[in-house]
Amino acid sequence: MGILVYAEHDNSTIKGATLNVVTAAAKIGGDITVLVAGKGCGAAAEAAAKIAGVSKVLVADNDAYSHQLAENVADLVAELGKGYSHILIPATTTGKNFAPRVAALLDAEQISEIITVESADTFKRPIYAGNAIATVQSSDSVKVITVRATGFDAAAAEGGSASVEAVDVAKDAGVSSFVSEELAKSDRPELTAAKIVISGGRGMQNGDNFEMLYKVADKLGAAVGASRAAVDAGFVPNDMQVGQTGKIVAPQLYIAVGISGAIQHLAGMKDSKVIVAINKDEEAPIFQVADYGLVADLFEAIPELDKQI
Amino acid sequence: MKVLVPIKRVVDYNVKVRVKADNSGVELANVKMAMNPFCEIAVEEAVRLKEKGVVTEIVAVTVGSKAAQEQLRTAMALGADRAILIETEEDAQPLAIAKALKAIVEKEQPQLVILGKQAIDGDNSQTGQMLAALTGMGQGTFASEVSVEGDKVKVTREVDGGFQTVELKLPAVITTDLRLNEPRYASLPNIMKAKKKPLDTVSGADLGVDFAPRTKTLKVEAPAARSAGIKVASVEELVSKLKNEAKVI
């Protein structure tokens, strides 16, 4: 039957999360087909064909898919997906937007954000902000699944030589249209792909003070994140939020600065390999998950850290 | 215009849930329950649209046991005009919930359906999108700004890279993100008034929906515990540990 993997891409390159989803597909077992839907996405399709373990790439190149509108993409994926045993979609905001539509169109119960493949029909997924892990078994004939990237290693981006095939199903559902987008520009690595993440919380006091974290981040090649409290207070934009409802990260090193450690924040970072917490409140819950805790005023500790690295 | 606001009764977000000893689920006995926080934002948005004169009637709806009447009353105390309980004792999953909501949409003919983007128990984030698919409506998920303009609604969405704005034909489905608004608290007079507002109950079976889950939960476990590490005395010690012990910088 085979597995259909939906590629997250920017028309020219494949986004990292796609590689983790390919690994999840390989664990399920079966031929892996990657679908690249977009407008002018030929280069992304070529890149997808090189991913190790992929046997076929389908390209749907059409105006209807240029902004990944859920209504149009879901119709396409549901139509193509009928012939597969599993449809795997990255649990990014793009994937989470259209995947349930696909499931509903196929009358399937979606399995959200799997972190482990136990067998072809059994998966593990976090519930209650990661405070419990459920093992679930699906009986749907086509299994629609979103994959949490941090649960799986990335497949090799090079080494494959899949065939590329154009699909000409293209339909605009006609109920939605793209107006505009406002994307953050940064020279730092993407939060979800960075090896080191340094995040600030309410303790940062204002947006200007994040400059201290940016300086340290640039020395370490790190991405900068934030707690919900810092985003809600307007210190930094929403795309920096790490947590249950923000981004899920699992870097080699996570440095939490002035973050108390609400369970909703821990849900987004507790699978990091090494966690450092810097907080002046020694009772802060963040210290319960930290490998290295430093009880200190961040306004003294961060400039000092900046000097020493 | 009429707005339908589906809500969910969940474990209060301040409660740290515990896994049952027999691994069949999480402990729900004697645990504080509340309206899902994202649903509160959905109710608030509907109320604000009514205050602006865009919306004339707000109908809150939920799928659950009799106990969920409590959350419907809360929704009415916050400003919903009436409520519908779709009663079931099953652990209803998003697909079945979306099918039940579709039946309510067909009966009530709302121009907007506003839901939370996810419930904090199952963390599925599916119901709104599924309802939109089943009814053929457009969807504006993870909304941080909503403006109704004639027969269209403009929705600004929080996406991984920043914001995306889409325009949807009405009727449409919207799911709320954290920063769409800050929900109000229910005042005592409004809590009293809510007790007299109409609350209808329909059974899931009457809507022709089978709520029995098709996905079987085999077990629920506590996550691997992270043991607390050590406290370091200085930045110097921290940097040395990260370089020499953890070898991550």
Which tokens sit at B189?
Answer: 């007079």
Look at residue A257 in the predicted model and tell me its pLDDT: 98
On chain A, the residues whose CB falls within 8 A of the CB of B13 are 264
Q: Which helix (H) or strand (E) holds B230?
A: strand B230-232
Mean pLDDT (chain B, rounded): 96
Interface of A with B in 181-200 (CB under 8 A): 181-184, 192, 196
User: CB pairs below 8 Å between A and B: how many?
Assistant: 257
Angle made by CA atoms A227, A229, A230, in degrees to the nearest 5: 70
- Closest C-alpha among B148, B154, B142, B171 to residue B4: B171
Best of B20, B123, B127, B146 to disrupt the A interface (most A CBs within 10 Å) is B123
Instruction: Give the integer Cα–Cα distance in Å for A206 and B3.
Output: 38
Q: Facing residues of B140 across strands?
A: B174
Which of A70, A103, A138 is the closest to B139 by Cβ?
Answer: A70
pLDDT above 90 for A184: no
Confidence of residue B199 (pLDDT cuts 50, 70, 90): very high
Mean pLDDT of B222-236: 91
pLDDT above 90 for A245: no
Query: A238–B144: do the CB atoms touch at under 8 Å?
Result: yes
Instruction: Give the integer Cα–Cα distance in Å for A107 and B134.
Output: 9
A220 touches chain B (CB under 8 A): yes
Which of B159, B178, B238 is the closest to A294 by Cβ?
Answer: B238
pTM, full prediction: 0.94
Nearest CA in chain A to B99: A104
Nearest CA in chain B to A97: B141
Q: Counting beta carbons within 10 angstroms of the beta carbon of residue B124, is it exposed (0 to 12), middle (13 to 18) or buried (19 or more)?
A: buried
Interface pTM (ipTM) of the complex? 0.95
Interface of A with B in 46-75 (CB under 8 A): 67, 69-71, 74
A126 touches chain B (CB under 8 A): yes
Confidence of residue B161 (pLDDT cuts 50, 70, 90): confident
pLDDT above 90 for B205: no
Interface of A with B in 251-270 (CB under 8 A): 252-253, 263-264, 270
Query: Could you read off the pLDDT of B9-46 as tens digits, one per residue?
Result: 999 999 989 999 999 999 999 999 999 999 999 999 99
On chain B, the residues whose CB falls within 8 A of the CB of A71 are 132, 138-139
Mean pLDDT of B100-126: 98
- For residue B56, the SS3 value is coil
Distances (CA, A) of B208 to A257, B7, B98, B127, B213: 52, 20, 12, 18, 15
The number of helix segments (H) and strand segments (E) in chain B equals: 6, 13
Which tokens sit at B125?
Answer: 């984030």
Q: What is the DSSP letter of B98?
A: H
Shortest alpha-carbon distance between residue A154 and chain B (Å)? 19
- Closest C-alpha among B176, B92, B178 to residue B139: B176
Confidence of residue A193 (pLDDT cuts 50, 70, 90): confident
Look at residue B70 in the predicted model and tell me its pLDDT: 98
Phi/psi of residue B173, nearest 5 degrees: -110, 135
Judge contact between B170 and A207, C-beta under 8 A.
no
A98 touches chain B (CB under 8 A): yes
Q: Counting beta carbons within 10 angstroms of the beta carbon of residue B185, is it exposed (0 to 12), middle (13 to 18) or buried (19 or more)?
A: exposed
Query: B217–A220: do the CB atoms touch at under 8 Å?
Result: no
Rounded to the nearest 10°, the torsion over CA A108, A112, A116, A120 is 10
Kindly report the three-state secondary structure assignment for every residue of chain A.
CCEEEECCECCCCECHHHHHHHHHHHHHCCCEEEEEEECCCHHHHHHHHCCCCCCEEEEEECHHHCCCCHHHHHHHHHHHHCCCCEEEEECCHHHHHHHHHHHHHCCCCCEEEECEECCCCEEEEEEHHHCEEEEEECCCCCEEEEECHHHCCCCCCCCCCCEEEECCCCCCCCCEEEEEEEECCCCCCCCCCCCEEEEECHHHCCCCCHHHHHHHHHHHCCEEEECHHHHHCCCCCHHHEECCCCECCCCCEEEEECCCCCHHHHCCCCCCCEEEEEECCCCCHHHHCCCEEEECCHHHHHHHHHHHC
